[in-house]
Structure formats: structure tokens, C-alpha cells
Amino acid sequence: MTVTERFEDTAKVKGTMLRAHLNWASNHAGLSTNSLVEHLSPAAAHLLGQTVLATDWVTFGLVVEIDRAIATASGRPEEDVYRDLGRYSAALNLGGVYKAFVSVEPHRFFERMTVLHHQFQNFGRSTYERKSERSGRIRIDGYTAYSRVFCLAGMGYYEEALRLMHAPGPIRIQEAACHCFGDDSCSFDISW
């Protein structure tokens, strides 16, 4: 199956995502920003030399490039690293600044997450559909930029969010569709 990606300079994500990923690289993989630079374009290397605030908007493509550099420098399987980056981002952000948005009820959390979507990225829109008492589907449409790196990190994020809510489990995140494979949305079936 052919995997495609799309990047555009106007697609941005909040700096909190990049900060979380760099913290994971440092704290869990022992990587410094200097060890990442050799794997980066001049634009991405320049970004690492800047102070990025959690509230700053950062170019999506540069975040994906930095995530790839983290995976390469770590020496671990890429997909595992991307999911770990998502898990860590959820733990850091949902356990800290955004703790008030975490609900003990997963359906409520994922419904609220769709409303907050534009506070963390300026492209696409998210919807949530309750499937059963302990399952649902997250659907993301209208992406003007997309990457498997981002989708895999998203799966890790959803998984860790459910753990933070003490969902009874087993926690399962299944990808039902992906822009990167030519589908018209990215959809994730979640259950706990």
C-alpha cells in the first residue's frame, strides 16, 4: 500500500506538542538537541535553536521532521517511537496544564476533545461518535497536511489519555482509515 504525506507551510500545531516530544527524546532516549541536528534540514535545526513556548504555533512539517530525527537517533523502531511520543505528550499535557479537560468518563473526554481540536492545530476538524458503552470512533476530516508520523503519535496519545482516565481496559486503538493511504479521513476506533 502506498503511503503519501502532505505538508504545507500554513499547517501548524501548538508548541506544546514539540516541547513534549523533545522532552521525551531527552528524558527517555537520552538525546540532546545537538544529537538531532545532523538528521535535520537547516529550517528544522534552526527551530531547535529557538525557544518554543507551549502556546506558539509551529509548522507541522517541521514537527514531523524533528519526530523522524528523534526516531532515527534513538535507534528504535520508528512506529514505536512515534506512539511513545504521543503517549508522552498526553501524559505531560493532560497531567499538567490541560488536566481540567480530562474527564473520568472517556466518551465525555473525546467529545470535549473535538471542541478543542483547533486550539492545538489549525487544520482539519475532529468528530467523535459513541459506538457502545465502552467504544467510540474519532474521525478527523479536512486535513490539508498529513503524515503517518502524526497518525501514529495520535494513536499513542489516545491510548495514554484512556490510561489517565483509568479506563478498565483492555485499551485498544485501531486505525479504520487514514489520509496517508488515500482515505477521505483519518478514523480511529477506540475501546476500553
Closest CA to 9 of 64, 47, 60: 60
Q: Is the peptide bond before 170 cis (omega within 30 degrees of 0)?
A: yes
All residues at 6 or more sequence positions from 95 whose CB lies less than 8 Å from its CB, including other chains: 164
Domains in the chain: boundaries: 12-191
pLDDT in tens, 50-92: 999 999 999 999 999 999 999 999 999 999 999 999 999 999 9
Summarised one tens digit per residue, pLDDT across range 112-125 is 999 889 989 999 99
* Nearest of 176, 171, 175 to residue 191 by alpha carbon: 171
3-state secondary structure of 178: coil
Mean pLDDT of the chain: 94
Name 129's bridge partners. Answer: 137
CB atoms within 10 A of CB 160: 23
pTM value?
Answer: 0.94
Taking residues 129-146, what's their average pLDDT?
97
What's the rounded Cα separation, in Å, for the pair 136 and 153?
19
Which phi and psi (to 5°) does residue 63 adopt? -65, -45
For domain 12-191, the CATH superfamily is H-NOX domain (3.90.1520.10)
Whether 100 has a pLDDT exceeding 70, the answer reads: no
Q: Give mean pLDDT, residues 3-7.
A: 95
